[in-house]
Each structure stands twice: as structure tokens, then as C-alpha cells.
């Protein structure tokens, strides 16, 4: 039994010395802007904290040569927000046709697309964290977004 305990302790020590990140649980109520910033930076992305028009946190970051935003929803005192949304938009002089956007929404599971009132394309991805989650789950969502944005740009010919 001592050998098993020693082997387990050694494995943990080796994992920690190699810089293996441990998933940290998030409490109910959501996520803070700082936790999302840390998750983005852990993945190698820049992350600049700003505020949206209503005073909620907002993060600007970049991927595939484009700036995207992370918006925060249902924020409470203490800075925890129940949901986040990854958003990217492109201002197109002539706009885009609805058929291309509908094809994206029909064929893709992640990343909801739409046109604004000037027919400029937007793509968004919502993440619900109201009942909690982990830092690892946030990282997984960042990875998903990192595949959605370039695929969407390719789809619209950007």
C-alpha cells in the first residue's frame, strides 16, 4: 500500500513540476472578467479589459488577424457574470447575402451568425456559466471559438 501511495504522490509531483494546469472550479453565479482574461492568456491570447455601454465588463482579444470581443451578461455584485459571449463582426461596404449566413447556421453546430441592419455579418458563441463550471471548461470554449472564427471568416470569404 505504501508503494501505491508513493507512486501516486510521485506522479502528482511530476505533473506539478511540468506545469500541468489543474482545472479550478468556478462557483455558482458565473465567471469574472479576470478569470476569462487568465484563461485567454493561458492559451496565448492577448486580453484587454474594457467596459461595454452599460458598464459591464468586456474583453478585447485577437485571433486569426481579427479582433473579437468577449461580452458579459447577467453580472452581479462581486463581479460574477452568469454568461459570456464571444463576438466578431465585419463591416462590409456592400454587405452580405442572407443565403450565405443561413448556410452557415444550417451546416455548423457552434457559432450563430446573422446580418445586422446594414447586412454586415456577425458571428457569436454563447457560454452559460450560471451554475458554475471550471477554468478548464472556459479554456475548452476558447478552443471552440478559435475554430469557429477562422471557419466563419473562410465561409464568408474574408
The pLDDT assigned to 21 comes to 55
pLDDT value at position 71?
A: 98
Q: Is 74 exposed, middle or buried (0-12, 13-18, 19+ CB in 10 A)?
A: middle
Output the average pLDDT for the chain.
88
Domain range for 71: 25-155
Nearest to 119 by CA among 141, 89, 76: 89
Assess if residue 92 is contained within a domain: yes
Tell me whether residue 138 is in a domain: yes
Instruction: Identify the three-state secondary structure at position 89.
Output: strand
Distance, in Å, from the CA atom of 30 to the CA atom of 36, rounded to the nearest integer, reads 11
Predicted pLDDT of residue 2: 47
Q: Is 13 part of a structural domain of the chain?
A: no
Looking at residue 24, its pLDDT comes to 85
Q: Into how many domains does the chain fold? A: 1
What pTM value is reported for the model? 0.84
Q: So what's the pLDDT on residue 57?
A: 96
Residue 4 falls inside a structural domain: no
Q: Does a structural domain hold residue 2? A: no
The whole-number pLDDT of residue 64 equals: 87
Q: Which residues of the chain have pLDDT under 50?
A: 1-20
* Residue 15 in domain: no
The reply to whether 115 falls in a domain is yes
Q: In 3-state terms, what secondary structure has residue 126?
A: strand
pLDDT tens for 79-118 read 999 999 999 999 999 999 999 999 999 999 999 999 999 9
Question: What's the confidence (pLDDT) of residue 50?
Answer: 96
Instruction: Give the C-alpha separation, 15 to 9, whole Å.
Output: 10
The CATH number of residue 31's host domain is 3.30.1460.70
Which pLDDT does position 103 carry in this prediction?
Answer: 98
Which of helix, strand or coil describes residue 49? Answer: strand
Residue 98 in domain: yes
Amino acid at each position: 500500500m505504501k508503494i501505491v501511495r508513493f507512486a501516486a504522490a510521485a506522479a502528482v509531483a511530476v505533473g506539478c513540476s511540468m506545469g500541468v494546469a489543474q482545472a479550478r472550479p468556478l462557483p455558482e453565479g458565473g465567471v469574472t472578467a479576470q478569470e476569462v482574461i487568465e484563461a485567454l492568456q493561458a492559451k496565448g491570447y492577448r486580453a484587454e479589459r474594457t467596459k461595454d455601454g452599460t458598464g459591464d465588463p468586456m474583453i478585447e482579444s485577437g485571433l486569426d488577424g481579427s479582433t473579437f470581443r468577449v461580452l458579459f451578461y447577467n453580472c452581479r455584485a462581486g463581479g460574477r457574470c452568469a454568461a459570456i459571449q464571444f463576438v466578431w463582426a465585419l463591416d462590409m461596404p456592400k454587405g452580405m447575402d442572407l443565403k450565405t449566413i443561413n448556410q452557415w447556421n444550417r451546416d455548423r453546430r457552434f457559432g450563430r451568425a446573422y446580418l445586422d441592419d446594414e447586412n454586415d455579418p456577425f458571428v457569436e458563441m454563447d457560454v452559460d456559466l450560471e451554475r458554475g463550471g471550471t477554468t478548464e471548461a472556459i479554456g475548452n470554449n476558447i478552443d471552440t471559438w478559435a475554430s469557429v472564427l477562422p471557419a466563419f471568416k473562410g465561409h464568408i470569404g474574408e
